């Protein structure tokens, strides 16, 4: 009787509509949050931070953003890589133009810039739907990357065409640049992720989220009920691009340190984040985390297993890793087309009755 | 019977009239003036005029393809007629998008259920209250003050409707898991949640068994009785129409062939012809 819903009575609508209505979930969440903020900084090392934890945190933000657009509002987008590049280049331009501006504000403003660009490229969604919209956002992807590689102003006329993040500090601790430690990188990404998840959850639980979901499920009925499709779709693009922009800025400034648009933010990034959202579960905040974990942590664990435990050669393991992860994705989508989040829901429903299923 | 019907027609004045069961019906809520709607060469609605009065249950009937649903779509702003005008609350209504019409207090249900399948029953009904929720995006993002307060207030209103329509047990169920009859009821709940001035029901009883039909009739009458909601309904079940409605518009081939109380309509020769089938000229 580990997990129980019975006897957990709600006496107000506020209590009934909270994020974790079941006590066990709520305490589990507090424990996890406490672990992430208090214990992880003590035990994290460079290897874990660089190979798993920091990319997971950053891609989870991107997956949250894309999930709002695709999972909640039903607007298919393949421009994620391009929007991440907007966040990255916006943060780079701001870091170099205003060196005294705090990096936290830089990243938030980079997100806002991306939101504006996202709204611009979201305008076609008012006329076209589904795959046609996906193709239109694909145009955004290629156009933005082209723009950032061809226009020297964006990379401050550097001869290599690369952008590299200067050192910036938060409370005197460097979080970007070569002097940044694993703990500081982890902490800034974690703070942004927790804030993003909180924002995304709040926006999707209220009237805004219902407007998005109404547009997703049946746009004509939504309009007749009183949803303005223009505002609903463009706000979804704005919020989604905001989060994607933040993750792009973090990926460049904190994680990579130096980047080149075509290489760091290519179409493969768009697909990576799209797969995270689909595998994790469309229309679920938890799904964004699960999908990011699956696609970031999965390959690393596989590599650890094959190379370190079984002692296979690295190149063989690398190829096998790609094949196994690919096969896992396919198997996963056949077994549970609605993603890890749906799987988790099924488990929870089973646990409600466990151990007496009748 | 026909005498009673004629007597009633005399008493339909600008101020209103009394129904057979003694309810007081108010003045004109909405007036359709010479509406003509064409799709290319097809004329779906030909020069139709009628009015809808505050508090009444107004039925639109007619054989398949008569233009009933098109008429409802004109009222809800989904179609824009080529000719004629819609007078609402005394003013000519300009060409509007459907969401603007909804904001003016006109809610509807659909012939083929148009619920949001991916959302729970509760969320579907809460969606009906969208224009009672005014918190902006930033207030919602931090879930503070207005956003949280509005959510709880509107939830309380929605719970009243859930009680009213007796769907407490499925509150948290995803709509896609519900049987057809319950979906129809949830759709009515969503329309009612908007607290509409005029409620449009497109075949609320299509495909239901007798018991479900009786429930639905009861709900429609109760809604009208309790909230005084003006209701316009399209229905094929003549028994239901004649029992429920105060006045009936009969359409055939896009034209209005009858308008009046159920008794008047029942005795109208053109209506009988349309339903029993007489060769058209």
pLDDT at B227 over 80: yes
Torsion of CA B121, A69, A290, A297, to 10 degrees: 170
B66-83 pLDDT per residue, tens: 889 999 999 998 999 999
Same fold? B1-105+196-281, B112-195? yes
The verdict on B85 touching A (C-beta cutoff 8 Å) is no
DSSP state of B188: H
**Alpha-carbon Rg of chain A, whole angstroms?**
21
Nearest neighbour of B152 by CB, restricted to A14, A207, A223: A14
* Domain B1-105+196-281, CATH class in plain words: alpha beta
For chain B, percent of residues with pLDDT exceeding 90: 35
Q: Is the ipTM of this complex over 0.90?
A: no
- Can you tell me the distance from the alpha carbon of A200 to that of A284, in angstroms, rounded to the nearest whole number? 10
* Among chain A residues, CA nearest to B154: A13
pLDDT at B49 over 60: yes
Return the closest-CA partner of residue B55 out of B22, B24, B12, B86. B24
A30-63 pLDDT per residue, tens: 888 888 888 888 888 888 888 889 999 999 999 9
Q: What's the whole-number mean pLDDT along residues A184-201?
A: 92
The verdict on a CB contact (< 8 Å) between A205 and B119 is no
Please give the residue range of the domain that contains residue A135: 43-266
- The ranges assigned to domains in chain B are 1-105+196-281, 112-195
Return the closest-CA partner of residue A264 out of A284, A242, A249. A249
Residue B2: partners with Cβ closer than 8 Å, 6 or more residues away: B263, B264, B267
Asked if the structure places residue A320 within a domain, the reply is no
The verdict on B118 touching A (C-beta cutoff 8 Å) is yes
The verdict on A337 touching B (C-beta cutoff 8 Å) is no
- CATH of the domain spanning B112-195: 3.40.50.300
Confidence grade of residue B6 (pLDDT, cut at 50, 70, 90):
very low
- Can you tell me the distance from the alpha carbon of B222 to that of B213, in angstroms, rounded to the nearest whole number? 14
Asked if the structure places residue A256 within a domain, the reply is yes
CB B205 within 8 A of CB B183: no
A152-178 pLDDT per residue, tens: 888 888 888 888 888 888 888 888 877
- Can you tell me the distance from the alpha carbon of B237 to that of A5, in angstroms, rounded to the nearest whole number? 45
The verdict on a CB contact (< 8 Å) between A13 and B126 is no
Cis peptide before A297 (omega within 30 of 0): no
**Tokens, residue A37:** 């903020």
Q: What's the whole-number mean pLDDT along residues B251-275?
A: 87
Asked if the structure places residue A260 within a domain, the reply is yes
pLDDT at B8 over 60: no
Residue with tokens 């003509």: B36
pLDDT at B1 over 60: no
> What's the burial of B3, exposed, middle or buried (CB within 10 Å: 0-12/13-18/19+)?
exposed
Per-residue model confidence (pLDDT) at position B4: 42
Confidence grade of residue A358 (pLDDT, cut at 50, 70, 90):
low
In DSSP terms, A173 is beta-bridged to A170
CA A252 to centroid of chain Cα atoms: 15
Bigger pLDDT: A165 vs B37: B37
**3-state secondary structure at position A189:** helix
CB B209 within 8 A of CB B19: no
Per-residue model confidence (pLDDT) at position A55: 92
A257-291 pLDDT per residue, tens: 888 888 889 899 999 999 899 888 888 899 999 99
Per-residue model confidence (pLDDT) at position B274: 80
Q: In chain A, which residues have their Cβ closer than 8 Å to the Cβ of B202?
A: none
**Which CA distances in Å does A319 have to A302, A307, B149, B249?**
11, 12, 54, 72
* Among chain B residues, CA nearest to A207: B130
**Which CA distances in Å does A136 have to A62, A124, A244?**
20, 7, 18
Confidence grade of residue B2 (pLDDT, cut at 50, 70, 90):
very low
Which DSSP string do the residues of B44-81 spell out, in sequence order? Answer: EEEEEEEEEETT-EEEEE-STTSSHHHHHHHHTTSS--
**Tokens, residue A268:** 């493969």
Question: What does the mean pLDDT of chain B come to?
Answer: 86
């Amino acid at each position: 009787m580990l997990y129980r819903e019975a006897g957990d009575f709600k006496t107000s609508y506020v209590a009934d509509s909270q994020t974790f209505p079941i006590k066990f979930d709520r305490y589990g969440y507090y424990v996890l949050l406490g672990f992430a903020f208090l214990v992880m900084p003590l035990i994290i090392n460079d290897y874990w931070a660089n190979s798993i934890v920091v990319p997971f945190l950053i891609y989870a933000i991107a997956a949250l953003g894309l999930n709002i657009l695709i999972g909640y509002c039903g607007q298919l987008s393949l421009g994620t890589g391009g929007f991440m590049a907007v966040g990255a280049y916006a943060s780079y331009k701001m870091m170099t133009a205003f060196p005294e501006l705090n990096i936290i504000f830089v990243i938030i403003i980079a997100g806002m810039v991306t939101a504006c660009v996202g709204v611009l490229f979201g305008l076609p969604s008012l006329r076209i739907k589904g795959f046609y919209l996906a193709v239109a956002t694909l145009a955004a992807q290629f156009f933005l990357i082209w723009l950032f590689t061809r226009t020297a102003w964006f990379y401050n006329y550097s001869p290599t065409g690369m952008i590299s993040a200067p050192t910036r500090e938060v409370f005197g601790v460097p979080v970007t640049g070569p002097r940044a430690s694993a703990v500081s990188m982890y902490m800034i990404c974690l703070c942004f992720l927790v804030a993003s998840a909180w924002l995304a959850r709040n926006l999707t639980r209220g009237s805004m989220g219902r407007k998005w979901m109404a547009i997703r499920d049946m746009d004509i009925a939504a309009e007749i009920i009183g949803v303005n499709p223009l505002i609903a779709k463009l706000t979804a693009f704005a919020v989604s691009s905001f989060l994607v922009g933040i993750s792009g800025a973090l990926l460049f400034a904190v994680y990579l340190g130096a980047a080149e648009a075509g290489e760091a933010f290519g179409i493969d990034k768009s697909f990576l984040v799209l797969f995270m959202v689909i595998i994790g579960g469309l229309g679920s905040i938890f799904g964004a985390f699960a999908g990011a974990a699956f696609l970031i942590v999965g390959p690393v664990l596989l590599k650890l297993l094959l190379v370190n435990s079984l002692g296979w050669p690295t190149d063989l393991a690398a190829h096998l890793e790609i094949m196994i992860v690919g096969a896992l994705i396919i198997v996963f989508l056949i077994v549970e087309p609605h993603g890890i989040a749906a799987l988790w829901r099924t488990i929870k429903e089973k646990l409600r009755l466990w151990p007496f299923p009748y | 019977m026909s005498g009673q019907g004629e007597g009633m027609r005399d008493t339909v004045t600008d101020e209103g009239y009394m129904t057979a069961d003694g309810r007081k019906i108010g003045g004109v809520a909405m007036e359709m003036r010479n509406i003509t709607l064409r799709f290319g060469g097809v004329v779906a609605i030909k020069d139709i005029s009628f009015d809808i009065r505050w508090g009444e249950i107004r039925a639109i009937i007619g054989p398949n393809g008569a233009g009933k649903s098109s008429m409802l779509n004109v009222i809800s702003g989904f179609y824009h007629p080529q000719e004629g005008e819609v007078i609402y609350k005394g003013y000519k209504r300009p060409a509007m998008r459907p969401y603007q019409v909804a904001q003016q207090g006109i809610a509807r249900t659909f012939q083929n259920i148009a619920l949001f399948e991916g959302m729970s029953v509760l969320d579907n009904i809460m969606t009906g209250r969208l224009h009672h929720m005014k918190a902006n995006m930033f207030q919602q993002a931090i879930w503070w003050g207005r956003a949280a307060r509005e959510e709880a207030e509107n939830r309380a209103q929605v719970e009243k409707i859930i009680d009213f329509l007796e769907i407490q047990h499925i509150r948290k169920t995803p709509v896609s898991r519900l049987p057809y009859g319950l979906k129809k009821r949830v759709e009515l709940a969503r329309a009612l949640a908007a607290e509409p001035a005029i409620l449009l029901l497109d075949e609320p009883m299509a495909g239901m068994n007798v018991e479900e039909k009786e429930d639905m009739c009861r709900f429609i009458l109760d809604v009208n009785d309790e909230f005084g909601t003006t209701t316009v309904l399209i229905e094929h079940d003549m028994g239901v129409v004649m029992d429920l409605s105060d006045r009936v518009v009969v359409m055939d081939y896009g034209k209005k062939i009858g308008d009046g109380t159920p008794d008047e309509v029942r005795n109208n020769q053109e209506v009988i012809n349309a339903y029993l089938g007489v060769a058209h000229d």
